[in-house]
């Protein structure tokens, strides 16, 4: 069984660009914080449910994904993006990867807003999209082996299950203050619906196509039966004459 501690291969342009943008935004956060003593960037671009509800700051559903609360927060998100994102870019395509990344990130933000529409708390971080990527990787390469906490080998599919359960329990109990557990869980749920939604659409399309074929077949049989009866009646009339 192969181990993949730092798998993913060389960084793709798509993943590299996302990492650079996230780092650049974090540097801007630090500059405002330490040079001007201001958290203006977080206040304007972080996801504030109250602000979205009453001030309609809808851009925050996207911008919050590029802000982070600290070096550790940024490091682990970007490390996960690198480890799991590169192979997904190559397996899908840069376009589909980016669509999925933003759908899961924005979806996680929307869910966080729905469950606390009047909250003054500010949600920041790419974790919703990162958890979505982790789920996608687990569905695509379920038997790949990684090292949990760099120590314990575990298949990706079980890592996804564990992280999903932790996010679910934390979102209910609020046992991790400062961690947007709802965004983590929502990123996985939105990602699953996005990926499986395509299968459901294909199945629905296949069902509709089959139903149309059956309808056309029945219509043809009815029409063919009418034609045959008319021909038979005409033949009987000709034979009588």
pLDDT value, residue 100: 97
Q: What is the CATH number of the domain that holds 183?
A: 1.20.1540.10
Range of the domain at 168: 13-198
Number of domains in the chain: 1
CA 42 to chain centroid, in Å, comes to 24
pLDDT at 42: 93
- pTM (2 d.p.): 0.77
Residue 215's pLDDT is 73
The verdict on residue 121 lying in a domain is yes
Q: Is residue 205 part of a domain?
A: no
Helix (H) or strand (E) holding 134: helix 127-140
Residue 105 confidence (pLDDT): 95
Give me the pLDDT at residue 4, please: 43
pLDDT of residue 178: 45
Q: Judge whether 157 lies within some domain.
A: yes
What 3-state class would DSSP assign to 223? helix
pLDDT value of position 136: 94
Give pLDDT tens digits along the chain (241 positions): 344 445 566 889 999 999 999 999 999 999 999 998 888 999 999 999 999 999 999 999 999 999 998 998 899 899 889 989 999 999 999 999 999 999 999 999 999 899 888 888 899 999 999 999 999 999 999 998 877 666 778 888 888 888 878 776 665 555 444 446 778 888 999 999 999 887 666 666 666 767 777 776 666 655 666 556 666 666 665 565 5
Residues with Cβ within 8 Å of residue 15, at least 6 apart in sequence? 81, 82, 85, 86, 89
Q: Is residue 79 part of a domain?
A: yes
Let me know if residue 88 belongs to a domain: yes
Which residues 6+ apart lie within 8 Å of 89 measured at CB?
A: 12, 14, 15, 97
């Amino acid at each position: 069984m192969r181990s993949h501690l730092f798998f993913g291969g060389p960084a793709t342009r798509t993943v590299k660009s996302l990492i650079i943008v996230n780092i650049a935004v974090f540097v801007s956060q630090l500059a405002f914080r330490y040079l001007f003593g201001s958290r203006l960037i977080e206040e304007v671009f972080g996801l504030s449910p109250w602000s979205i509800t009453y001030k309609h700051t809808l851009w925050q559903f996207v911008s919050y994904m590029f802000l982070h609360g600290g070096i550790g927060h940024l490091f682990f998100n970007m490390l996960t993006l690198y480890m799991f994102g590169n192979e997904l870019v190559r397996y899908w395509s840069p376009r589909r990867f980016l669509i999925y990344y933003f759908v899961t990130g924005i979806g996680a933000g929307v869910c966080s807003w729905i469950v606390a529409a009047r909250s003054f708390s500010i949600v920041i971080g790419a974790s919703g999209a990162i958890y979505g990527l982790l789920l996608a990787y687990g569905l695509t390469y379920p038997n790949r082996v990684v090292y949990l906490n760099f120590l314990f080998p575990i298949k990706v599919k079980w890592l996804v299950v564990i992280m999903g359960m932790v996010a679910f329990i934390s979102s209910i109990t609020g046992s991790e203050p400062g961690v947007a557990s709802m965004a983590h869980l929502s990123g996985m749920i939105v990602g699953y619906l996005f990926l499986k939604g395509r299968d459901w659409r294909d199945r629905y399309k296949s069902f509709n196509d089959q139903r149309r074929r059956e309808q056309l077949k029945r219509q043809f049989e009815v029409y063919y039966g009418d034609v045959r009866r008319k021909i038979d009646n005409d033949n009987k009339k000709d034979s009588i004459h």
